[in-house]
Amino acid sequence: MNDRHSILDSITGAFVPIHRDGYKFVAGFAVATLFLFLLAPPLGWLAAVLTAACAYFFRDPDRVTPDRDGLVVSAADGKIAAVAEGVMPPRELALGTDPLTRVSVFLSVLDVHIIRAPVGGKIIHGAMCPVRFSTRSWTRRARRTSASLRHRDCGRDKIGVILIAGLVARRIVTFVSEGASVAAGERIGLIRFGSRVDLYLPEGVEILTELGQTAIGGETVLAALVGEARRGQSAAGEA
């Protein structure tokens, strides 16, 4: 019985839950697949593949977030596309006019698109606005959603999170609102479909990631904060 249970656990463990926001899309693909199987079986098989791809896109795996104060974890799965210092934060973040450190994560259509809180704290500001993407022949609009978080343990440290939707499907779904308290690694949103997430980090952070690294949302540590709590501990230690 124990062997049977372990095999069953291994099989079921290979299946990742689908986020509830994806149910309607997967259901729509499934219904279309059923009709196509009745009308034209070859197209039905193609639709079945697309249904599986849709379910794969909306997967929502559990993550284990490091339980240590002062760590900034990746808000998204994907590649570290940029680590830049001295970047002016967008005005909608309300983070002031001082240049900050920006870490950008690029999500491909194969990555998990659930976005998570990089730190534990309170969302003190949120905004949604259009953003323009220019190509050689035309300019298209997409959406981005911005949120500023005040870190739970370091009162003056604020972190900006910007969710940028792709050009194909410009849709961002948020799970929390302004004034809400979140834990590090908690689900805060979903982007459809290809997209990017930018983190604006306060002065004094220690960057612990590098360009090209593969990040796992809610788990990969990107930086360590040097906030008031850490400064206080350092002062006490020196005394």
3-state secondary structure 21-63: HHHHHHHHHHHHHHHHHHHCHHHHHHHHHHHHHHHHHCECCCC
CA distances for 85 relative to 29, 60, 201, angstroms: 44, 32, 9
| Packing angle, helices 41-57 and 23-39, rounded to 10 | 170
Q: pLDDT higher for 2 or 115?
A: 115
- pLDDT of 237 higher than 50: no
DSSP 16: P
* pLDDT value for 225: 85
Q: Which class for 191: exposed (0-12), middle (13-18), buried (19 or more C-beta within 10 A)?
A: buried
- pLDDT of 134 higher than 50: no
> Is the Cβ–Cβ distance between 76 and 194 less than 8 Å?
no
* Averaged pLDDT, 48-52: 94
Confidence of residue 135 (pLDDT cuts 50, 70, 90): very low
Question: What are the residues facing 148 on neighbouring strands?
Answer: 125, 160
* Averaged pLDDT, 133-142: 44
> Is the Cβ–Cβ distance between 201 and 223 less than 8 Å?
yes
Confidence of residue 140 (pLDDT cuts 50, 70, 90): very low
**HSE-up of residue 148 (Cα within 13 Å, Cβ side):** 17
- pLDDT of 13 higher than 60: no
- pLDDT of 233 higher than 50: no
Catalytic residue among 74, 104, 146, 195: 195
> Is the Cβ–Cβ distance between 16 and 57 less than 8 Å?
no
* pLDDT value for 203: 81
* pLDDT value for 166: 65
Q: What percent of the chain has pLDDT over 70?
A: 76
* pLDDT value for 171: 79
Residue limits of CATH 2.70.70.10 in the chain: 71-226
Share the mean pLDDT of the chain: 81
State how far the Cα of 234 lies from the Cα of 154, in Å rounded to an integer: 14
* pLDDT value for 172: 84
State how far the Cα of 100 lies from the Cα of 98, in Å rounded to an integer: 6
Three-class SS string for 76-140?
CCEEEEEEEEEECCCHHHCCCCCCEEEEEEEECCCCCCEEECCCCEEEEEEEEEEEEEECCCCEE
State how far the Cα of 151 lies from the Cα of 6, in Å rounded to an integer: 41
Q: What is the pTM of this model?
A: 0.80
Closest residue by Cα to residue 101 from 231, 223, 229: 223
Query: What would the pLDDT profile of 175-227 be if each residue is shown by its tens digit?
Result: 888 888 999 999 999 987 668 899 999 888 899 999 999 999 999 999 998 65
* Averaged pLDDT, 7-29: 76
| Catalytic residue flag (residue 137) | no
* Averaged pLDDT, 29-33: 95
Q: What percent of the chain has pLDDT over 90?
A: 47
Confidence of residue 8 (pLDDT cuts 50, 70, 90): low
Query: What would the pLDDT profile of 83-116 be if each residue is shown by its tens digit?
Result: 999 899 988 888 888 899 999 999 988 899 999 9
* pLDDT value for 204: 81
CATH superfamily of 71-226: Glucose Permease (Domain IIA) (2.70.70.10)
Sheet strands side by side (includes 139-151): 181-182, 121-134, 139-151, 158-165, 195-201, 100-107, 78-87, 214-215
